[in-house]
Amino acid sequence: MTKYNFGYKSINELQDLYRTKEISPVEVTKEALENIDLLNSKLRAFITITDKYAIDKAKEAEKKFLKGENPNLLTGIPIAIKDVEPMANYRCTFGSLVRDGIAQEDSMTVRRIKESGGVILGKTNTPEYGHAGTSDNRVFGSSFNPWDIKKTPGGSSGGSAAAVAAGITSIGQGGDGGGSIRIPGSFCGIYGIKPTQGRVSRIVDGSVRWNVVNNATSGPLSRHVDDAAILLQVLAGYSDEGEYINIKEDPEDYLDSLQKSNNYKIAFSNSVGDAEVDNEVTKIVKESLNKFTKETKSEVSEFNFYPESAESIYQVFFDFFCTKGYASDPILLEDENNNKLITDYVKRNWEHGKKVTGSRMFECYNKIGFYRDYTNKLFKNYDILILPTMATTAFDVNNPPESINGKKTNDPLWDFTPLTYIFNLTGNPAATLPIGFSKNKLPIGLQIVGDMGREHDVLNLSKQFQTIFEWEKYRAPTAV
CATH number for the domain formed by residue range(s) 6-473: 3.90.1300.10
Q: How far apart are CA 413 and CA 417, in angstroms?
A: 9
Q: How far apart are CA 480 and CA 468, in angstroms?
A: 25
Buried b (16+ CB within 10 A) or exposed e, 177-203: bbbbbbbbbbbbbbbbbbbbbbbbbbb
Q: Which conformational region is residue 147 in: left (phi greater than 0), alpha (psi within -120 to 50 degrees), or beta? A: alpha
Least confident interval from 6-20, 199-213, 358-372, 440-454? 199-213
Query: Sheet holding 217-222: strands in order across?
Result: 46-49, 119-124, 78-82, 171-176, 217-222, 191-194, 430-437, 443-450, 384-388, 265-268, 299-302
Separation of alpha carbons 444 and 293, rounded Å:
18
What confidence category does residue 3 fall into, taking pLDDT thresholds of 50, 70 and 90? Answer: low
> Which residues on neighbouring strands pair with residue 13, listed in sequence order?
none
**Is the separation of the CB atoms in 390 and 153 below 8 Å?**
no
In this predicted structure, what is the pLDDT of residue 211?
A: 78
Tell me how far apart the alpha carbons of residues 357 and 407 are, in angstroms, rounded to a whole number.
31
**Domain-by-domain residue ranges, the chain?**
6-473
* Confidence tier at 289 by pLDDT (50, 70, 90): very high
Q: With contact defined as beta carbons under 8 Å apart, do 189 and 165 qualify?
A: yes
Task: Kindly list the distances between the CA atom of residue 85 and the CA atoms of 126, 186, 203, in Å, as whole numbers in the listed order.
Answer: 11, 22, 11
Contact 345, 131 (CB under 8 A): yes
* Average pLDDT for 137-142: 98
Instruction: Map residue 310 onto helix, strand or coil.
Output: helix
pTM recorded for the entire structure: 0.98
Mean pLDDT of the 51-72 span: 98
Amino acid at position 467, single letter: T
Q: Dihedral of the CA atoms 386, 170, 477, 5 (nearest 10)?
A: -150
Q: What string of DSSP letters covers 187-201?
A: HHT-EEEEPPTTSB-
HEC string for 390-429: CCCCCCECCCCCCEECCEECCCCCCCCCCCCCHHHHHCCC
Coil, strand, or helix at residue 140?
coil
39-43, 219-223, 328-332, 350-354: the lowest-pLDDT one: 328-332
Closest CA to 152 of 21, 45, 80: 45
Amino acid at 68: G
- Residue 177 has a pLDDT of 98
The phi, psi pair for 458, rounded to 5°, reads -60, -45
| Rounded Cα distance, 111 and 200, in Å | 13
C-alpha 439/C-alpha 441 separation (Å) is 5
At 427 the pLDDT is 98
pLDDT at 1 (0 to 100): 40
Q: How far, CA to CA in Å, does 86 sit from each of 15, 38, 327, 410?
A: 27, 26, 21, 35
69-83, 103-117, 143-157, 245-259: least confidently modelled range = 245-259
447 by DSSP, 3-state: which? strand
| Closest-CA residue to 91 (of 58, 140, 44, 134) | 140
pLDDT given at position 2: 43
Give the confidence band of 207 by pLDDT, cuts at 50, 70, 90: low
Confidence of residue 242 (pLDDT cuts 50, 70, 90): confident
- What residues are labeled active site? 82, 156, 180
Average pLDDT value for the chain: 97
List of E strands, 118-240 = 119-124, 136-137, 141-142, 171-176, 191-194, 217-222
Does residue 217 register a pLDDT over 80?
Answer: yes
| Count of other CB atoms within 10 angstroms of residue 119 | 28
DSSP 3-state of 137: strand
Residue 261, Cβ density class (10 Å: 0-12 exposed, 13-18 middle, ≥19 buried): exposed
Q: Cα dihedral sign for 12, 17, 23, 24?
A: positive
Radius of gyration of the chain (CA): 21
Single-letter code of the amino acid located at 378: L
